Amino acid sequence: MANVNTTECIICFNEYDFESRKPCIGTCGHSICEGCKHQMVTSKCPQCNREEAFAITTINYQVLELMKQLKSMQEAGGSSSAQLFSEDLSRLDEGTCSECTLRSRKLRLCITCAVRVGILKFEETGKKFVLNIEKDGVEVALLKAKEIAICGDCALDGAQHEGHKTMHLAVLRSDLEDYTPTVIQEKMNQIQISGDAIFDELKTNIKISMDSLKVYFEQYSLLPATERKIHFNNIEASIERINDSLSLARDAVKRFEMLNNEFVESTEVVNSNMKAVTKASTAFANMDPVLVADRKQSTSEPLLISVFNPKNDVWTPRGRIANPKSNYAVASNKSQIFIVGGMNNGSWLQNVEMYDNNKDRRRECKKLKRGRTRTSAGFHNNKIYVAGGYDSTYMSSVEIFDPDHGDWRDGPSLKRPRADGVVVSCNGELFVLGGFNGKEYEEKIEKLNDRKQQFEEVGEMQGSRAGFAACAFRGRIYIAGGWSNSSNTLRSVRSYDPMTNSWRDEPSLNKDRKYFTLHATNKTIYAIRGCADSWSLINEVEKFDPDGQKWDIIKCTDSRNSLQPAVGQNETESHSTIEDDIIQ
């Protein structure tokens, strides 16, 4: 029997979803979407023709769960099979039975049915049945196996499995663990092949371009003397463009040299300590909703917390935090957003507030050790770093907050004081960029040396700014908007490569923005809300097109018709009363 794509309906060939195309599983084990199920004249399976196979509508939520998991891994930059194994193999035999839909901790596979649809195969060498891993990879093979997995009761009582042998899904665990090095080795081989092809193509194109330029240059003999100077100037400009292109290649060479040094160092660490290297790395952000706090710097307008969902471009206001303040910093992770410091009635605030989107709860966290306004905050290694700011003098002190324990500690101070800069984690390292130091816009870029626990100057902004947004995207730090003097608001975008310590200009935003959110997924960057030059709020969201090298203003749907009352104050139709946990 030919293999069936287990994520698509076998009638309409559309992928299953949580809306109108939920997968309905028949007693025969085949699935169709809910829409096609309701349009069927008979309950006979369209795949195997078993009578009454779809007499009862049974939604296969296991398929939807696994599809969601697989998509989230793909959106997160193609999570490796090794990551899948480390996180999920321990729970491989746990899940929902594909037939009775009850949850089981000891899922099984009907060997006969799994072989028939190509999920299992018999391995002659080991004389056992193993997962049939084809070109789609381990993730898809595992998805198919768990999709048809059944509980012990269905294995014993199901008529369609009478006389069939079954096996526990856990039996596959050792086979998959052994397969991990093979998968990684194959990926490395593919990278080597791709690298060789790119090198050959680069070498060929450099030669072709130079040959064409030489032919172009020789045309001067056809020109009168009055035209030759212009012609030579054009040749000089062309040579500069070739040099610019070669500089990108030189940057790539430098990046590979640095990567090689890192790999050699990591190898020495493993050999010496017999432990895996624990250096943190920055994974690509996925498409999960991102929490946003409007940073319009006004004590008269309560701060609005909202959620932007990149999957469907929906913006949802969650409510307002009523405590008056201005010039605060914001740091967020997947489910929590922290409002740090600020100013009110001439006082530099030590207050820290947190809103938890999952719990719909606001709480006051333990206060900063020092009140500060116009400070910068960001997550690094699951902790919040608050750097610089202003308290009648421009500050260089750093404080570190541990959300798990709820306490603050002093961190290593910056080399240079600054306010309105940014704190951003990129490639597993923490950087502080930009801002104003009281005299000028700060040019020095500082990086935290984790081993020495001190900040070091590693580069220059080459045109600094303050009040801008930043994020890490594809190994580079992107900065956008802000201001570079007291009377302008910028829309320009630049990116910094920490490995080569070099900058490049990027396409500009469509709108001037300051105090906004720059959020990266593995595929794009979003510029979310913020303030215009007049400090009026910007509702439009812009999306970066890396291939087209442009920013597009996207139509962002407001999921509600009106804004909600203050977070943590009044119960609304869509909010339960939020408790305030005050930590002294």
Residues 383 and 236 in one domain: no
* Cβ count near 449 (within 10 Å): 14
In a domain, 86, yes or no: yes
Task: Enter the tokens of residue 311.
Answer: 């999957």
In a domain, 218, yes or no: no
Q: Mean pLDDT, to the nearest integer, of 254-263?
A: 82
In a domain, 65, yes or no: yes
Dist CA 505 CA 480 (whole Å): 11
155 or 373: whose pLDDT is higher?
A: 373
Residues 316 and 425 in one domain: yes
Q: How confident is the model at residue 78 (pLDDT cuts 50, 70, 90)?
A: very low
Residues 297 and 268 in one domain: no
Residues 396 and 531 in one domain: yes
Nearest alpha carbon to residue 158 among 28, 285, 55: 28
Confirm if 23 and 68 have CB atoms less than 8 A apart.
no
User: Domain range spanning residue 175?
Assistant: 23-182
pLDDT at 71: 66
Q: List pLDDT tens digits, range 430-464.
A: 999 999 999 999 999 999 998 899 999 999 999 99
Query: Long-range CB contacts (< 8 A, 24+ apart) of 482-489?
Result: 482/420, 482/434, 482/513, 482/514, 483/514, 484/441, 488/533, 489/513, 489/514, 489/531, 489/532, 489/533
pLDDT at 1: 37
Q: Which of 123, 152, 182 is the last residue of a domain?
A: 182
- Give the whole-number percent of the chain exceeding pLDDT 70: 85
Residue 439, Cα to own-chain centre: how many angstroms?
37
Residues 455 and 552 in one domain: yes
In a domain, 120, yes or no: yes
Cα dihedral sign, 409-410-414-417: positive
CATH of the domain at 424: 2.120.10.80
Reply yes or no on whether the pLDDT at 3 is more than 60.
Answer: no
Residues 109 and 53 in one domain: yes
pLDDT at 577: 30
Give, in order, the Cα–Cα distances in Å from 389 to each of 345, 378, 435, 514. 17, 14, 9, 17
Residues 428 and 491 in one domain: yes
Q: List pLDDT tens digits, range 496-554.
A: 999 889 999 999 999 999 999 999 988 899 999 999 988 888 989 999 999 899 999 99
Dist CA 169 CA 293 (whole Å): 45
Residues 274 and 299 in one domain: no
Reply yes or no on whether the pLDDT at 79 is more than 70.
Answer: no
Mean pLDDT (the chain) is 83
Dist CA 179 CA 176 (whole Å): 5
In a domain, 130, yes or no: yes
Residues 271 and 303 in one domain: no
In a domain, 192, yes or no: no
Q: Mean pLDDT, to the nearest integer, of 269-277?
A: 83
Q: List pLDDT tens digits, range 177-199.
A: 656 666 678 788 888 999 999 99
Is this prediction's pTM over 0.85?
no
Reply yes or no on whether the pLDDT at 425 is more than 70.
Answer: yes
Residues 371 and 518 in one domain: yes
In a domain, 209, yes or no: no
- Give the whole-number percent of the chain exceeding pLDDT 90: 41
Q: Pairing state of beta strands 525-528 and 541-545? A: antiparallel
In a domain, 11, yes or no: no
Residues 410 and 543 in one domain: yes
What is the domain count for the chain? 3
Residues 338 and 253 in one domain: no
